[in-house]
């Protein structure tokens, strides 16, 4: 590797110049990652993009025209958003108070481990568990019926709420961990200063923590949202894949493996990516409204 650099760089002068700009032999360590992302991300993306403009029938835009003309297809965008956005917001709203509490705890690691378990279990196992637990003959309904609170089992799976519950369970740990790292990154002396200045607990959150955490919340929202938006297994297992939980990834799956129309599937994937990107850009751009410097007390 080093020899290549020496040959291409004509003499030590150029090498020194490059080094001054931050390019030296160490820069080559970027190569594996660059190759990796080129092969596994850039190439398939470009391939899919081109493929989506080569439909089975019709002009080069035919796939997109078909998607936006057919309610059965374009409705998947709303259905996915109707799941992903409330789930992400709920996770964030739940994660903040928990993170604020955990921040002060001594056995933080134990609790963090417990909370992270659902991530390692994977969505399919969680979906299966929920089917047993929340199903018509599941413990949840049986307990409520035994206690006489309900007479008929509640319908909690094979609909919107089944998918919703599974997305909250699998998404929460991720959202929580990110939130916790942002919350603990704020100098506790700032809150103490707020308290000595007469701010109540709510005012300290509202005027000190919230403004400093907003940029972090935006990133957390984006990452959690992207995860929830690409929901597939739980939408099939716990939802109504033909009805209210026919999310966009199901549409792509059907195009690819039921109609064997890879071109159409690519187009759906592109639309899915575009919607995600649009939301992420909008959220990240809003960070500009907030303070984004270091969140510790400025040092002397």
Partner 1 sequence: MAIALSQFNEVRLDRVSRDFGALNALREINLTIQRGEFIALLGPSGCGKSTTLNCIAGLLPVTGGAIWLDKSRVDTLKPEERGFGMVFQNYALFPHLNVRQNIGFGLKMRGTPKAEMERKIDEALNLVRLQGQGHKLPGQLSGGQQQRVAIARAIVIEPPLVLMDEPLSNLDAKLRLEMRAEIRRIHNELGATTIYVTHDQDEALSLADRIVVLRDGLVRQVGTPKELYEAPEHLDVADFMGFRNKLKGKLVASSNGRAIVDVEGARISGRTRETIPDGSTAYVAIRPDDLVIGEPGGNALAVSVDTAEYRGREFVGTAHTKGGLELVFRSFQAVEPGTAVHLVAGEDNTLVFSEPV
What is the contact surface with partner 1 in residues (CB under 8 A)?
187, 189-190, 192-200, 203, 207-208, 211-212, 290-291, 293-300
CB-nearer residue toward partner 1: 94 or 214: 214
Smallest gap, in angstroms, from Cβ of residue 103 to partner 1?
Answer: 16
Smallest gap, in angstroms, from Cβ of residue 106 to partner 1?
Answer: 11
Residue 283: both structure tokens together: 């959220």
Question: Measured between alpha carbons, how far is 89 from 228 in angstroms, rounded to an integer?
Answer: 11
CB-nearer residue toward partner 1: 232 or 290: 290
Question: Measured between alpha carbons, how far is 99 from 177 in angstroms, rounded to an integer?
Answer: 8
Task: Judge contact between 153 and 113, C-beta under 8 A.
Answer: no
Phi-psi region of 293 (alpha: psi -120 to 50; beta: other; left: phi over 0): beta
Smallest gap, in angstroms, from Cβ of residue 111 to partner 1?
Answer: 21
DSSP states along 102-167: HTT-SSHHHHHHHHHHHHHH-HHHHHHHHHHHHSTTSHHHHHHHHTTS-SS----SSSHHHHHHHH
Task: Judge contact between 91 and 172, C-beta under 8 A.
Answer: yes
Task: Judge contact between 268 and 252, C-beta under 8 A.
Answer: yes
Smallest gap, in angstroms, from Cβ of residue 201 to partner 1?
Answer: 8
CB-nearer residue toward partner 1: 194 or 233: 194
Smallest gap, in angstroms, from Cβ of residue 300 to partner 1?
Answer: 3
Smallest gap, in angstroms, from Cβ of residue 192 to partner 1?
Answer: 5
Kindly state the helix (H) or strand (E) to which residue 223 belongs, with its residue range. helix 210-229
CB-nearer residue toward partner 1: 90 or 195: 195
Positive or negative CA dihedral for 208, 215, 287, 22? positive
CB-nearer residue toward partner 1: 22 or 198: 198
CB-nearer residue toward partner 1: 144 or 199: 199
């Amino acid at each position: 590797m080093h020899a290549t650099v020496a040959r291409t760089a004509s003499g030590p002068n150029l090498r020194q110049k490059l080094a001054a700009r931050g390019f030296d032999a160490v820069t080559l360590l970027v190569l594996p990652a660059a190759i990796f992302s080129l092969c596994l991300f850039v190439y398939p993306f470009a391939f899919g993009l081109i493929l989506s403009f080569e439909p089975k029938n019709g002009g080069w835009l035919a796939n997109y025209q078909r998607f936006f003309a057919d309610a059965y297809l374009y409705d998947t965008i709303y259905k996915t958003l109707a799941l992903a956005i409330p789930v992400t917001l709920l996770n964030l709203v739940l994660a903040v108070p928990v993170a604020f509490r955990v921040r002060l705890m001594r056995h933080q690691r134990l609790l963090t481990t417990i909370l992270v378990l659902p991530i390692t279990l994977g969505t399919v196992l969680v979906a299966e568990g929920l089917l047993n637990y929340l199903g018509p003959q599941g413990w949840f309904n049986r307990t409520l019926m035994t206690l006489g609170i309900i007479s008929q089992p509640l319908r909690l799976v094979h609909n919107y709420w089944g998918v919703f519950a599974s997305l909250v369970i699998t998404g929460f740990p991720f959202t929580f961990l990110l939130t916790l790292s942002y919350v603990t990154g704020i100098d506790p002396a700032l809150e103490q200063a707020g308290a000595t200045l007469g701010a109540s607990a709510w005012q300290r959150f509202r005027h000190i923590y919230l403004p400093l955490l907003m940029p972090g919340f935006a990133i957390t929202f984006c990452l959690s949202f992207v995860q929830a938006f690409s929901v597939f297994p739980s939408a099939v297992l716990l939802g109504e894949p033909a009805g209210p939980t026919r999310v966009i990834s199901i549409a792509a799956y059907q195009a690819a493996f039921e109609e064997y129309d890879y071109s159409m599937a690519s187009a759906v994937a592109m639309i899915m990516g575009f919607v995600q990107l649009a939301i992420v850009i909008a959220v990240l751009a809003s960070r500009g409204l907030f303070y984004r410097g270091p969140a510790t007390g400025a040092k002397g």
